[in-house]
Amino acid sequence: MRTRKFVLSESIKALFDFVGEVEDATEWFQIQEALSPPLRKDLCGTIFERNIRGPTTLFVQWISSEDVEFMQTILAPDGNDNHNKADYNSGTVSPLDQPSTSNEHLASFSPCSEQEETVQKTNLQTILSLLSAKIDDDSPTSNQINVVRDYKGNTHNILRSTVQAFSRRRFNLGARLDVIFVDDTKVAEGAVDGGGPTREYLRLLLKAVQQSSIFVGPENSKRLRLDSEALHKGLYRQISQMISVCIILGGMGPHFFSEKLFLQVCGKPTRPATLDEVDDETFKEMLCKIKEAETLPEAKAAIDLAEDCLSIIGAFRSISTLKQRDMLVQSAVEYYVDGRCNVALQQFVDGFNTLGLLQEMQTHTDLFRIIFVEDKKPLRSSDLTSLFEVNLSDQDTYKRELETRTLCFWRDWIIDVEEERNSYRFETT
């Protein structure tokens, strides 16, 4: 048995090339997973598109080129089902219904480890491409979003326009958006032209979402905040739907989730809540006094002062040891940070079911972290260089010489900027 790892987004041709490396390989052959239709050597597409989704043992069937009936089948269009019904008795070394026990006729397939950075990027691109393929290219009238720019930097107009559109009874999350920017004189700029307005809109929308009332915390590490009005109106669900649309339709991630919020959305275990996550300064100060009390009488006195607040969340109780004091403080913190936001979190998570995004996030949590949580990896010159594809003129021409000089200058410049990072902000240069 021969074994090799493949990336799911690789062409199926790479798998066929691997199978055909054995000494007794014939020009034509098929591979087949148990109980699945055979795959002909002349097929195209990616491994993933051919329904190979995980570690798999594939049986190989060598076909003699002299088998006229098989050659007619192998050259038939993909829409012809005859290749599934061909008679393989002639020219067949190991029939698929009786797989050969020879190790050369077996190929074990398994996808590469998701821990490899290059594979991570490829797999994430594949997943998002498959999700984006579900989008209906026809944009119904109900999917028109009229947006007013706020040149003072405020984003409430963007969010209000989006909430209004998402609240329409016939708004279709599975269809493309028709974005119209309107200036301050209420003159429309026009609908989508090549995705430009839509992409600008999605960028502004993510900024508006980041500044919305349902989040609290540092700029690039937001967690959910309880807003009873937003919960009643279903705003938590709508905002997570907006984020889903930005990711699937525009390929833009929020990049401002805290690690804990991201794991909560993905249904993964999280660390215990801490006092630093309590955003109510008055309540936080009360809990700090209880926690910092050095003696039991001081702790009891601090608990009595906080009786009203502790009673509301069901944490008020008498204590007899400092250990019980610590347990009281921790239970109060856990309820304030997580417990009271549980319903809001459930509504927020539900919105990520849009177009199957939540299932992919739960399955490929490590892959999606990079688009939800702030990427603290510094930008390098090689990263910037890799964004561009160079198209040069014909070899041995004067224009080609000028272009290569320009390319060298460009690459040298970004390397110099990277080296002088102490005096430049490379991220904004």
Please report the beta strands in 230-299, taking only residues with DSSP state E, as ranges in sequence order. none
Please list, residue by residue across 47-80, b when 16 or more beta carbons sit within 10 angstroms of its beta carbon and e when fewer do: bbebebeeebebbbbbbeeebeebeebbeeeeee
| Torsional sign, CA 149, 153, 156, 158 | positive
Please name the residues in contact with 146: beta carbons below 8 A apart, sequence gap of 6 or more.
Answer: 161, 180, 182, 188
HSE of 22 in the Cβ direction (CA atoms, 13 Å)?
19
Amino acid at 166: F
Residues in Cβ contact with 255 at an 8 Å cutoff, skipping those fewer than 6 apart: 220, 371, 372, 373, 374, 375
* Residues present in the chain in total: 429
CA 343 from chain center: how many Å?
24
114 exposure class (CB count in 10 Å sphere: 0-12, 13-18, 19+):
middle
**CA distances to 142, 147, 202, 217, 344 from 168, in Å:** 7, 16, 19, 31, 22
Q: What does the pLDDT read at residue 151? A: 67
CA angle at residue 340 from 336 to 344, to 5 degrees? 130
- How would you classify residue 310: left for phi > 0, otherwise alpha for psi between -120 and 50, otherwise beta? alpha
- According to DSSP, the β-strands at 2-6 and 106-111 are parallel
Q: Compute the distance between CA of residue 333 and CA of residue 335 in angstroms, rounded to an integer.
A: 5
What's the count of helices (H) and strands (E) in the chain, helices before strands?
Answer: 17, 9
pLDDT in the model for residue 49: 66
- On whether the CB atoms of residues 273 and 334 are closer than 8 A, the answer is yes
pLDDT mean values, one per 10 residues, the chain (429 residues): 69 75 68 66 69 71 56 43 39 36 43 46 79 87 85 77 92 89 56 63 92 92 94 95 92 92 94 91 94 93 93 91 94 92 95 91 92 78 79 88 90 84 48
Confidence (pLDDT) at 121? 46
231's CB contacts (< 8 A; 6+ apart) are 343, 344, 347
* CA end-to-end span of the chain: 53
Q: What is the pLDDT of residue 170?
A: 92
Q: Do residues 380 and 368 lie in contact, with contact meaning Cβ atoms separated by under 8 Å? A: no
pLDDT computed for residue 308 by the predictor: 92
Q: pTM here? A: 0.60
**Got the DSSP string for 120-157?**
HHHHHHHHHHHHHTTSBSS--GGGEEEEE--TTS--HH
pLDDT at 406: 92
Distance CA 159, CA 242 (A): 10
Exposed / middle / buried, residue 32 (Cβ in 10 Å: 0-12, 13-18, 19+): middle
At 171, list the tokens: 């708004």
The alpha carbon dihedral of 291, 296, 299, 304 has a sign of positive
Reading the block at residue 382, the tokens are 């090689």
